[in-house]
């Protein structure tokens, strides 16, 4: 049987389809776009992709993505080394940095506990976090996992794990409540409850 | 010709969710009248998404769903029962994950089973009640779920000889699907079953939930019952449940609770 699509084209379509949020239609569209686009578009893309894995690694202190052994944030002397914000993913570091007021360091867990998908504590950088808190002079740990079932369970697990390890440190959780732009009337009970608990003096 | 889109209302318990695309989530729901269905919730990972807080895992919600050709889409969501206990509890999370994984494994897509929905609702409610015996909830739930899905273990007749079981110590054989009397026991996979353990299993299999919840069960008895039910379920599914492994891990850390003597 003759093929309507050459192998090299099929291969790229299949590769694109494995990316999150990209279905077979989008994958074909991207592939045919690259076929028509000037040569340098695809060579730049190919170069960037192959360097992505070969040049990057995890920071050995905070496990953020970096090109060095220790990332820029961990090496920055102006940042408060006694403060650690614990986040799920490297992208969460960017979200906190965007706020522009946090001056401490980070610890990236690379996921959250998810029993159903078989993600247990040993698959996350929790042991490393406990070790870090034990060996560095940390005064506060800001647990910044996402609000919700898995993020909360992971935060609780970390708290329990630290107390089992006999490490005493101030542990806080990011405030939660009504987001800017939201409507009170649409809020769920848990959110309203949290917002009331966390109310502040004007 | 494309089917006209239909909007329907349903109650549902959220049993699984994945992140999808930029800010969407795919949810697996268990509904009373349509069984297990998969839906998409668009944009719920944005901070200002109205529905986000209403679509928490292991909670009961009322939904307005638009039927699509590939994926159904949630139009409106209102949480009716979050189930969660006031204090965040890891062990609760582990048990809720276990109950839900069991249901997911034993049910097919779009196969209605209203009593099964009722069972999950009861079990999650019970799990969230103050001072509830989590392991007892799990045993009750397992036995009822197995009945509702056609895998009820035989507890009143010998699973091999079919004769009525006498009130004495027996064996439980996952392979044979229930209790096996000492005369018929074979192989080494059978678990010795004390008379008390047999009584508790029968009680949980046949009595109402408010009767079962009054049982006081000792820690060693709980271990035996768990071993029996987990081996039977692992035999049926030909795999161990990941959430059961998770539970084992976190239970190891839990301080020994104060438990009254066995019945």
Q: Which of B20, B54, B246 sits opposite A120 (nearest CB)?
A: B246
Asked if A109 and A32 sit in the same domain, the reply is no
Are A11 and A72 part of one and the same domain?
A: no
**Low-confidence residues of chain A, pLDDT below 50?**
1
**Helical H segments across chain A, by residue range:** 7-17, 24-36, 39-55, 72-75, 90-99, 126-135, 149-164, 189-197
ipTM of the complex: 0.85
Closest CA in chain A for residue B105? A116
Length of chain A: 202
- Structural domain includes residue B140: yes
Q: Is residue B73 part of a domain?
A: yes
**A24 in contact with B at a CB cutoff of 8 Å?**
no
* DSSP H or E segment with residue B200: helix B195-206
CA atoms within 13 A on the CB side of A67: 4
Residue A78: other Cβ atoms inside 10 A: 5
Q: Give the pLDDT confidence score for residue B86 in this predicted structure.
A: 65
| B36-59 mean pLDDT | 90
A115 touching B, CB under 8 A?
Answer: yes
Residues of B in contact with A189 (CB under 8 A): 79, 82
Domain coverage including residue A160: 58-201
Looking at residue A5, its pLDDT comes to 85
The confidence score (pLDDT) of residue A154 equals 96
DSSP β-bridge partners for residue B73: B40, B66
Question: What is the pLDDT at residue B258?
Answer: 37
Instruction: State the pLDDT at residue A23.
Output: 84
One domain for residues A46 and A121: no
> What global pTM score does this model have?
0.87
Give the C-alpha separation, B263 to B261, whole Å. Answer: 7
Is a pLDDT exceeding 90 seen at residue B259?
A: no
Number of domains in chain B: 2
Considering the domain architecture, whether residues B24 and B65 belong to the same structural domain is answered as yes
Pick from B141, B62, B70: nearest CA to B106: B141
Interface of A with B in 80-109 (CB under 8 A): none
Per CB-CB distance under 8 Å, the chain B contacts of A188 are 53-54, 56, 79
Q: Same domain for B113 and B174?
A: yes
Q: Based on the domain organization, do A51 and A62 belong to the same domain? A: no
CATH code, domain carrying A131: 3.40.1360.10
Q: Where does chain B show beta strands of DSSP type E?
A: 7-20, 24-31, 35-41, 60-66, 72-81, 170-173, 178-180, 191-193
CA B228/CA B172 separation, integer angstroms: 7
| Integer Cα distance of B43 and B32 in angstroms | 26
What is the extent of the structural domain holding B67?
Answer: 7-81
B30 plus B107 within the same structural domain: no
Query: Which of A113, A121, A191 comes nearest B53 by C-beta?
Result: A191
pLDDT digits (tens, 9 = 90+) for B175-225: 999 999 988 988 778 999 999 999 999 999 999 988 999 999 999 999 999
In this structure, are B35 and B134 located in the same domain?
A: no
> Helix and strand tally (H, E) in chain B?
7, 8
Instruction: Return the pLDDT at B87.
Output: 66
Q: What is the mean pLDDT of chain B?
A: 89
Q: Are residues B69 and B119 in the same domain?
A: no
Query: Are residue A167 and residue A133 in the same domain, yes or no?
Result: yes
Q: What is the pLDDT of residue B187?
A: 76
Do residue B48 and residue A149 have CB atoms under 8 angstroms apart? Answer: no
Distance from CA of A2 to the nearest CA of B (A): 31
B41 close to A (CB below 8 A): no
pLDDT confidence of B2, banded at 50, 70, 90? low
């Amino acid at each position: 049987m003759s093929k309507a699509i050459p192998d090299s084209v099929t291969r790229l379509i299949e590769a694109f389809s494995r990316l999150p949020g990209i279905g077979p239609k989008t994958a074909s569209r991207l592939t045919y776009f690259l076929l028509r686009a000037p040569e340098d578009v695809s060579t730049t893309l190919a170069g960037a992709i192959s360097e992505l894995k070969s040049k990057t690694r995890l920071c050995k202190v905070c496990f953020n993505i970096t090109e060095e052994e220790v990332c820029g944030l961990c090496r920055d002397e102006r940042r408060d080394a006694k403060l650690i914000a614990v986040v799920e993913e490297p992208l969460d570091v960017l979200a906190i940095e965007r706020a522009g007021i946090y001056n401490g360091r980070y610890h990236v867990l690379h996921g959250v506990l998810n029993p159903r998908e078989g993600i247990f504590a040993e698959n996350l950088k929790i042991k490393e976090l406990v070790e870090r808190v034990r060996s560095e002079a940390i005064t506060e740990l800001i647990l910044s996992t996402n609000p919700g079932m898995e993020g909360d369970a992971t935060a609780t697990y970390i708290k329990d794990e630290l107390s089992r390890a006999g490490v005493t440190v101030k542990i806080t959780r990011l405030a939660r409540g009504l987001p800017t732009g939201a409507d009170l009337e649409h809020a769920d009970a848990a959110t309203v409850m949290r917002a009331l608990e966390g109310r502040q003096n004007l | 010709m494309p089917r006209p889109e239909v909007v329907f209302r349903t109650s549902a318990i959220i049993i699984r969710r994945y992140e999808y695309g930029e800010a969407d989530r795919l949810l697996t729901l268990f509904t009373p009248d349509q069984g297990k269905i998969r839906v998409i919730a668009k944009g719920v990972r944005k901070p200002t998404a109205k529905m986000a807080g209403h679509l928490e895992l292991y909670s009961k919600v009322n939904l307005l769903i638009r039927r699509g050709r590939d994926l159904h889409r949630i139009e409106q969501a209102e949480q009716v029962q979050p189930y969660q206990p006031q204090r965040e509890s890891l062990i609760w999370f582990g048990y809720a994950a276990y109950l839900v994984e069991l249901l997911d494994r034993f049910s097919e897509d779009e196969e209605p089973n209203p009593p099964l929905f009722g069972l999950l609702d009861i079990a999650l409610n019970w799990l969230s009640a103050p001072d509830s015996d989590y392991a007892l909830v799990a045993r009750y739930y397992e036995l009822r779920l197995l009945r509702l899905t056609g895998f009820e273990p035989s507890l009143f007749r010998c699973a091999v000889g079919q004769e009525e079981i006498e009130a004495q110590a027996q064996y439980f054989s996952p392979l044979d699907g229930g209790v096996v009397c000492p005369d018929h026991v074979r192989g080494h996979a059978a678990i010795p079953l004390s008379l008390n353990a047999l009584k508790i299993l029968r009680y949980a299999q046949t009595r109402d939930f408010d009767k079962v919840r009054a049982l006081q069960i000792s820690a060693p008895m709980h271990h035996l019952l768990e071993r029996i039910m987990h081996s039977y379920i692992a035999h049926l599914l030909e795999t161990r449940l990941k959430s059961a492994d998770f539970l084992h891990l976190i239970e190891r850390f839990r301080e020994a609770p104060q438990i009254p003597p066995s019945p």
